[in-house]
A and B are shown apart, each in its own frame.
Chain A
């Protein structure tokens, strides 16, 4: 009976190992099945590049949402990437070990704060600040960028920290022995060696910012219009799906799945780039 048990275990484990890949395929198939025929029906270029979104009137152009998602993601990176990378460098290179042991987990806890809480703080604290000092409704590209920038910090910091930590100590020691200051050794040696990991962390963070939904709905203002200033309210691709999902049927629902297709494809491309960048680093060593 022993041998039987072994065989069953192996078969079961092999089957189970497919679960993640199978889920990914199921998700892709169902999102495409619901959304892609609709895109062909409306016309791919009309869907992507028309600015008229009015599901009741049969107008399905998501161009303003694409622009909004790009602006908000880009803004989030302007804030999150420099802050995150700076934090990672400082913690790895300039902070004594005991201090790092406290600060790093503290920052990782930032990742655990639910996105709705970030969104709520954006509404209660950030939006009034923007409204009073810069004009506009407050709920805006700027508010969404700041909130998302803070939300992606843990992603940037933890992956960059790992990349910087993986640089062999001999590199650093070599630079220091040649008479470089600490900072010279960091920006001439360590950062060059950890470059691909840092880039990967920023690309993954872009994916997170692009895909974030609830926080963005709360702070971005949700107006379907091509923005002209950072204080203008916008509606992102993700917000568009979540806002109209609860009462959409028929064509309108298919349009939301088509929006999901666009989001899915862009994020898969970003992930693939990040993964291959991280892998190429492993290959070179």
Chain B
């Protein structure tokens, strides 16, 4: 585990525990002073549903996860105040991490407990101290009520997402911004939905007696479980598919390599390595999540055209005249033909099409675009591929440091200087090459 991550995890854990202790000791939040039987029953209700929901973990695309439990913790914060809500969150987190999902490392449990407690206390401070809410009195009648609800929910989830994304970024040594943006597409609507459920639950719980009579809590539990299960189910399907797709591309990429190169061991894994390097460099540049993803997929697939030449590709009339006459097409072009029919993958197909173009060459063959039109992702792939060839190819594979120097020499002729720069930065961040050497290389570009 990187040192920065270790320090961060311990800081969050300690801060969280101190916050709970401090709130317990000094907090003049109302929930504390009126511990009675009904409060106890309420707390047990939220604890039980919170434990149930906390088991529904939705993994995020870029690592980390969102717990559905926050819908209940938020409702509990509105009904019973932040201190009891933090306590419920802490207990529910312990329940899932220690009892349900055994084997979660101790420091992770502590971290989860810590950031949940901090997030709830921050949201509580917004709701009660900053915007003057009263414990158990959830209303939606004025603009101020709305501001309280929206503001505290925003603080809760922003704090929660940031804590988790920061840990993911430190663990994967990826830029925080890129992890945040990569996850945001999925997490923001999910959190908004969870906040909505939390609000509904709070209002219904507060009015359950009047509305539904003695067994109202059963009904409220239904409002909690039904929508969140649906959320959980949909997200799970999506995330699983995501993971499966990635794995499929890796499998197929290895399969194609085995078919093309036979027993040449060093060729195996080339696609996967190019994908990883190019995607990491793209993250380094702060490209959007979609772009990073497309570059990664294109990395897996960039040599697909070497596998075979489907006959319809050869005689479909799309190829430039001289290529058709010679009967030979570049493998990149063939790869493009194979991939371009796949829905949603057209951008990936374009990246594959141009990944083997030299940077300094103008219009390539007839009908091909000029330099400006070649997508930057293809440039990144070219650098990643060149690097992998340099460090793996027999008979004389280079050391990473020497390969990096070679890339710098080739920047401007074979390779795009901007892409090389991003790649070198990535090598430094991933500690593949010593940081000082990377700085020298960057100065030389």
Do A and B pair up? The answer is no
